[in-house]
Amino acid sequence: MDKKEGKKIFNGIAIGKIRFYAKAENKVSRTKTEDCDAELARYEAAREEAARQLEKLYEKALVEVGEANAEIFNVHIMMLEDDDYNESVQNIITTQKVNAEYAVAATGDNFAEMFANMEDEYFKARSADIKDITERIVTILCGNSDSSDIGDEPVIIVADDLAPSETVQMDKSRLLAFVTRYGSANSHTAILARTMGIPALAGVDIDRSWDGKIGIVDGYEGLCIVDPTMPVLEEYFKKKAHDDEQKELLQTLKGKENITKSGQKINLYANIGNPGDLMSVLENDAGGIGLFRSEFLYLESETYPTEEEQFAAYRKVVETMGGKKVIIRTLDIGADKQVDYFGLDREDNPALGYRAIRICLTRPEVFRTQLRALFRASAYGNLAIMYPMIISVDEVRRIKEISKSVKEELIAEGVTVGEVEEGIMIETPAAAVMSNELAGMVDFFSIGTNDLTQYTLAIDRQNAKLDEFYDSHHPAVLRLIRTVVENAHKAGIWAGICGELGADTTLTETFLEMGMDELSVSPGCILPVRRAIRETK
């Protein structure tokens, strides 16, 4: 029996045969050619075929994992059009008079290494995308097919790493779990695994000899057990049966109140990335939407989305929720979410840079367009607005002036504007410390625990090397959260959490004891958190 530890990506227990997943072997050799035009034509044809394959993958992912997670394939299609990449391939073919396969492989290696050596974690992550599209083009040029066929029986996939395209192409009905040597909890494949609800581990010291053996993936403990003894196997069959039973029991919580045994109530809302997530919100019985990430409109557009485009998206969400509260976060571009047409400069510390409300306040035409769309949509449901990355009273004062001006402008035009709560995200230590003053200026606080933890502990949450130091239960973080709730209540406003910590059921009782008014979590976490609330005394 072999037992290995890894980073927990998604919980659950899987038991089954292991299949070691290896990419198709593309043996690329450097071959001289006298017909460079023919090689250039071969490259163009392969690039066009790669784009067609990626378009199919996008459509497949759209159905299986939602629009936000499918977007990576649109990114890959855009990367196929990159002038620098294409010019490099064409230059190698024509100046060295070599075959297209070699030119593509050489370009891919050069570009992937260049991105991997960048300090910025966002750009480092693009190295994997370069490798993915390069491998796809080379595979087409070599006349090989993809290796996504995982066989006819359910298996645990073990691999050095998995590209998003490989993950999406696999038959989900035969996937029991993912185990990879590389990758982090924030990788594309990890996000896809969570979306599909498949137990997954990363950072596991895997071995090719595992192929064909029986394996166990324990997503709760972060364990991969290979060739287990009979007693261990029997123990895990019982654990899995219990796990399955608990998941079925959760369904009985639909329609139930979020109330403790002593009668304390709390609102339980969902975080979503785009309107495509609405079905999951309804299926999991969320009481509303506590975080709607409006930046998806900007990330999926080739230019600034118009007022009408934004209005249509916001209206759809508030109408679908049928009077339940929908809290929409204004534009949060910057840091790890880059959009070319914004023309943002490269920054040494983007998480501490020009992002979110800082962009909105310095580009008022962008901000006003979004606010006009939001206030117009407010007439169709229960819409609230919250502003991210706040650090000062002056910022909130400027936001309120712009907001008031936009509302007055719309009313003067004869546009109906609903009653809109306006709140701020508390995700910087500055906002938490100043929360006593900020509370008197807004209708609510929503605590973004992901960034609050990052900034409080001075740890880049995107950096996998720092996972062991990233402690979201750190006393300093919890003290700041308590301070925010207390200051909110003193001012007569409500406070909630929209960060990942809200779904941590080991802290549910603590948050209730603090007097937290609302928790907003991913749709799949609604029922587990409801159970934790109802089991609290």
Q: Which residues are catalytic?
A: 188, 498
The secondary structure of 55-123 as a DSSP string is: HHHHHHHHHHH-HHHHHHHHHHHHHHT-HHHHHHHHHHHHHHTB-HHHHHHHHHHHHHHHHHT-SSHHH
For 17, the 3-state DSSP assignment is strand
Alpha-carbon span 529 to 331, nearest angstrom: 28
Q: Which residues pair with 289 in a beta bridge?
A: 270, 326
For 245, the 3-state DSSP assignment is helix
Is the distance from CB of 377 to CB of 383 less than 8 angstroms? yes
Packed helices 449-457 and 475-490: angle between N→C axes, nearest 10 degrees: 130
Alpha-carbon span 479 to 453, nearest angstrom: 11
3 state SS for 405-443: HHHHHHHHCCCCCCCCEEEEEECCHHHHHCHHHHHHHCC
Alpha-carbon span 426 to 82, nearest angstrom: 38
- Beta-carbon contacts of 457 under 8 Å, excluding residues fewer than 6 positions away, are 469, 470, 471, 474, 476, 477
Of 33, 70, 40, 38, which is closest to residue 55 (Cα–Cα)?
A: 70
Alpha-carbon span 155 to 202, nearest angstrom: 17
CA dihedral (12, 69, 7, 505) in degrees, to 10, reads -50
Alpha-carbon span 125 to 108, nearest angstrom: 14
Alpha-carbon span 43 to 27, nearest angstrom: 17
Q: How far is residue 6 from each of residues 33, 156, 180, 352, measured CA to CA in Å? A: 47, 15, 9, 30
- The number of beta carbons lying within 10 Å of the beta carbon of residue 512 is 19
Alpha-carbon span 79 to 111, nearest angstrom: 12
